[in-house]
Amino acid sequence: MRVYISVDMEGIAGIDHPAPTSLEDPGYREAVDLMVGETNAAIAGAVEGGATEILVNDSHGQMHNLRPADLDPRAYVIRGQKPWSMVAGAEPLAPGDGPRHDVALFVGYHARAGHPTGVLAHTMAGVAIETRIGGRPTGEYGFNALVLGAWGIPVGMVAGDDALAAEVAEQLPWTERVVVKRAIGTNAAASMHPERARAAIRAGAAMAVRRAAAGELQPFSVASPVRIEIDFRRGIEADLAALVPAIARLDDRSVAIEEADPVDAFRLFRVAILLAGIAA
């Protein structure tokens, strides 16, 4: 069983404020330690579930948070800024190739931009106030699941707060949901002790890999054409995103993408967010 693990930071137990998620903050090192702990728990659980190959993708911020020497040596880790972002390393090596992994696990994930209580809720970057797939408000878990699904890879586990778990239950109902903290508000949470959180993730990862081996999971897909809508904070951000001909302006600060191929839709979504992010 080939397992892919995408690791973010905002959904990690013990992290409840944006400050320590930044490299410059004095609490950043402690936040990374918590991130490493949950990553290693997922690796250990994947091995227990039957994993024979594990790739970890550091998926937070500039994506060079995880210290390789601190990670379980049974896994490879990919770090740094990558075109495929939070799903880098899962893309096919050549057109027509089959899936590179049998199941994906999401650790440290969070609720979507615009969620009323989700801890540190956002989608990809602070420029979006809401993002939708097929009219449904959706966060990073959904966009990443969409492109992984197009590559034939199901999402077997998502770990984060209870707000995220409720979202995932609606959109990816076959997925194991591990709740490591209860959302109190955007910058507040009631977290499990790190040891309890890691034990829960380890168990969830093992179950997800076993269920993938048993054929109980399915890749996420939506009806074609895939329609993605993004509401930005400001008109200038929508102006910049809509410079791409395939990205249509909807109103004063929103754009839409409609593509038959979910991978192309995801590419355009990434471009829209990146372009909007350069606005002064």
Q: pLDDT by residue (tens digit) across 71-92?
A: 999 999 999 999 999 999 999 9
- Average pLDDT (34-52) is 98
Query: Minimal CA–CA distance to 129: which of 254, 278, 279, 280?
Result: 254
Residue 214 pLDDT:
98
- The CATH architecture to which 2-126+137-213 belongs is 3-Layer(aba) Sandwich (3.40)
| Prior bond of 173 cis (ω within 30°) | no
Alpha-carbon distance of 35 to 180, in angstroms, equals 12
Tens-place pLDDT, residues 159-171: 999 999 999 999 9
Q: Residue 208 is which amino acid? A: A
In angstroms, the CA 274 to CA 192 distance is 34
Element (H, E) at 36: helix 28-49
Q: The tokens of 249 are what?
A: 């302006």
* Confidence band, pLDDT 50/70/90 cuts, at residue 259: very high
pLDDT at position 96 over 90: no
Active site residues: 122
Percent of the chain with pLDDT over 90: 97
Domains of the chain, by residue range, sit at 2-126+137-213, 226-276
> Tens digit of pLDDT for each residue in 177-223?
999 999 999 999 999 999 999 999 999 999 999 999 999 999 999 99
Residues 207 and 20: their CA atoms lie apart, in Å, by: 31
User: What residues are paired with 179 via a beta bridge?
Assistant: 160
Query: Distance (Å, rounded) from C-alpha 171 to C-alpha 219?
Result: 12
- Report the CATH superfamily, name and number, of domain 226-276: Dipeptide transport protein (3.30.1360.130)
Confidence check: pLDDT of 95 > 90: no
Distance CA 279, CA 159 (A): 32
The span from the CA of 86 to the CA of 84, in Å, is 6
